[in-house]
Structure 1
């Protein structure tokens, strides 16, 4: 790789992560089935309606579903990018209201077991993008895989989607514990999803707060209570997102309100010190990959 190419990629990454330009939000959850992808896409569409340039990265590299939820046909995905068969811009597709989507690949085991160098290469691929982005939403896989950790560390805000189920709360706690103790992520925003009332959402948050305050040194904030709403299921059948298909439904109103709130969250004046800083060093100084992950 020539010095010019390295400089071009570094410049591209700075455009992506520059605090004045791009808000980076990771949407994650301790387990599957909590509605994480629906939250991600609802935020994306709601923000796009306000004139924001929004990109969604489907980072669930084992069970990709963002493109399926939107009924989109994709020819290329992140698998092709990592294999060197195309650039990131070639895999990008346009979704409703002009949101840009980078689809993942589904059912490929090797994509769920990427090395740290491949993680870095994936982030570095953003350096080739010339798109101006106001908000990058990262829809991670469920659980605590290396990929989930990588993207959660890269984000300025980490949204943890939780349902009122014992396994959801336990797994969300495990994710918060891992990110805080081993990777320095100290602030988490909680979305209580599919709750039967605002009170139930508050009680769910209280359960999570009880264990985090006792065992962890983190800040958690309840940012939304999204009601259980049959319109969500109906919109999934239509391969549409609830804020688009049923904008006045209870779930859609709650998710639109969350999008408005997210746009007001302050962006740090400097890189987070995690993956953004790591990739900058990788591109500029070509330092060993593993060292920057603290291993």
Structure 2
């Protein structure tokens, strides 16, 4: 998130440039000029960002661009690479970039909640074949159910999964990269992933961001929030220990790994207003002692 390349939102000039790019790519696809993960990543990388790489922090397309890099380095499509190196070895049998038609009836219902939490409304989740209709990021497609591999395999949030599968992934992280005798990552890689790396300028920029900044006391690195100051987090009722890490999802899902306690947890709420503030804090209190 320090690349300066944002997601397409109606906000800053860089975000609006990404919106224009997304609209152009969708129009070209509708006209019969399809795009791929790599061609979309090349287009995104060519859009002027909001700041020089490393000069700030902004929630954006960094993870999606890394997906394109993985395709180039491996010589494989991102879905094939994930299945070979992650989903298959971890026996994540219900995780992938689309939901097979035979599993459509298992897709959880999603909801919207109004700001006063007084009512919820069910989200319509149309089924689509995203080989001919897609967007550059998961942001606009999160309420749709893909039944075929999408044209753009979004490394920043394009997969469907279950609590069971995601718990296996988290336990692999908790076990320093290994689960059930299968090694996915080296221990030193896991330690690098959970090491805070933001400087003061980047931390200040993150504090000003609305996404991922709901609780103070956290730094960020390698697509993860990382707790560095438990006293600040506790001021808002969030218990935790130095080094606890994880992330939140657009649909209300939430995960954490706490190496000091040997605890990993995943929480899938299916609510597009997110897990903050009430349920997230209650989750912490339920699994982390108030010390």
Task: Name the TM-score, length of structure 1 as normaliser.
Answer: 0.28
Kindly name which structure, 1 or 2, has the bigger radius of gyration based on alpha carbons.
2
Richer in helix (by share): 1
Task: Name the TM-score, length of structure 2 as normaliser.
Answer: 0.28
